[in-house]
Amino acid sequence: MIHKTAIIDSGARLGRDVQVGPFAVIEGDTSIGDNCVIGAHVSVMRYTRLGAGCRVHAGAVLGDIPQDIGFADGESSAVIGDRCVIREGVTVHRGAKPNTATEIGEGCFLMAFSHCAHNVKLGPGVILANATLLGGYVEVGERAFISGNCLVHQFCKVGRLVMMGGGSAVSKDVPPFCTINPLTLNRVAGLNVIGLRRAGLGVAERQEVRRAFKLLYASGKNVTQAVEDIRNTFASGPALEFCDFADQSSRGLCAMTADSIAALAADGE
């Protein structure tokens, strides 16, 4: 199942039943898992590893050197988990420093022309829609959905089950379970209620998340005080993810508009 025009280095390791399309290039020191499909004109560069069952569409470039003027070569990698779908023109660059990696979790879906810069880390099941751009060292939590043409600044964190609307941009961290409205900058809109349900959180857990969200954004307290209140209110459960996320934030959290805070505070639920 290897097209006659494909170029595969003798140092590449291909698993069972791998398909490679026309004019694809697979360099040495690479590993392609079982049952992967590598489309036409795909480039799999040195130090790239693909898990089993991945499908890479035409023109994607995986594991090229980072777009970092401080890059001084060395062995870094791009590691892609099992069952990922990587569409046309996607670029995933390898780590910027030796012995570091860009990591794409299992079951991720990277739509056409999305970009994961050096040292990005995607949790399992993340979806990047068309032309999403993630800067270096960005971290995205499990099953987050980042819509088309979104921008995420380097070193930012996006929590699990976040939903970013199309064309939005963030240069601060987005707490878990939150939504970002389309075409906005650093503004949380509310909770990703549909995402919470689809992720299997029960009614009680969703209510706890909502109460913690209100404490964080509509209590009138600063983040440190709100986090302390959340920890004092909840002994366990997903509500505490707000606290852990805030503790690990280095860029500060995205805020809400005054109107959204007023509406949230007035909601008695």
Closest by CA to 92, choosing from 49, 52, 123, is: 49
Tens of pLDDT, residue by residue over 111-123, are: 999 999 999 999 9
Fold of the domain built from segment(s) 196-266? Udp N-acetylglucosamine O-acyltransferase; Domain 2 (1.20.1180)
Q: In this structure, are strands 19-20 and 91-93 parallel, antiparallel, or unpaired?
A: unpaired
pLDDT above 90 for 267: no
Tens of pLDDT, residue by residue over 103-146, are: 999 999 999 999 999 999 999 999 999 999 999 999 999 999 99
Tens of pLDDT, residue by residue over 167-183, are: 999 999 999 999 999 99
State whether CATH 2.160.10.10 applies to domain 7-137: yes
Name the residue with tokens 């939903």.
Answer: 163
Name the residue with tokens 């890479």.
Answer: 56
How many angstroms separate the CA atoms of 46 and 204, rounded?
48
Residue 115 in contact with residue 130, Cβ under 8 Å? no
Residue 156 in contact with residue 134, Cβ under 8 Å? no
Sequence ranges of the domains in the chain: 7-137, 196-266
Q: What is the average pLDDT across 54-81?
A: 96
Tens of pLDDT, residue by residue over 234-261, are: 999 999 999 999 999 999 999 998 888 8
How many angstroms separate the CA atoms of 41 and 25, rounded?
7
The whole-number pLDDT of residue 99 equals 97
Phi, then psi, of 197 in degrees rounded to 5: -65, -45
Tens of pLDDT, residue by residue over 184-220, are: 999 999 999 999 999 999 999 999 999 999 999 999 9
Q: What is the pTM of this model?
A: 0.96
